[in-house]
């Protein structure tokens, strides 16, 4: 169990979801190979973080 409040988790989820949507809107075709790889890894990491926050929120309910 984390030391984060429900409100902190909710705000973190909102912020990360916003960042994920912005990353997904980027035209990866215009990026270089390393930038594209970094973007893909960021998107994957954001999805992991969001999933973990959602699991924590469900345990608190």
Q: Tell me what pLDDT residue 61 has.
A: 75
Of 18, 6, 2, 7, nearest to 50 (Cα)? 18
pLDDT interval class at 60 (50, 70, 90): confident
- Whether the CA torsion 52, 54, 59, 60 is positive or negative: it is positive
The tens digit of pLDDT for each residue in 1-50 reads 568 999 999 999 999 999 999 999 999 999 999 999 999 999 999 999 99
**Structure letter (DSSP) for residue 12:** H
Chain centroid offset of residue 22 CA: 11
């Amino acid at each position: 169990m984390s030391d984060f409040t429900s409100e902190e988790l909710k705000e973190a989820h909102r912020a990360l979801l916003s960042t994920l949507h912005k990353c997904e809107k980027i035209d990866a075709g215009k990026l270089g190979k390393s930038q594209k790889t970094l973007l893909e890894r960021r998107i994957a990491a954001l999805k992991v973080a969001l999933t973990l926050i959602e699991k924590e929120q469900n345990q608190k309910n």
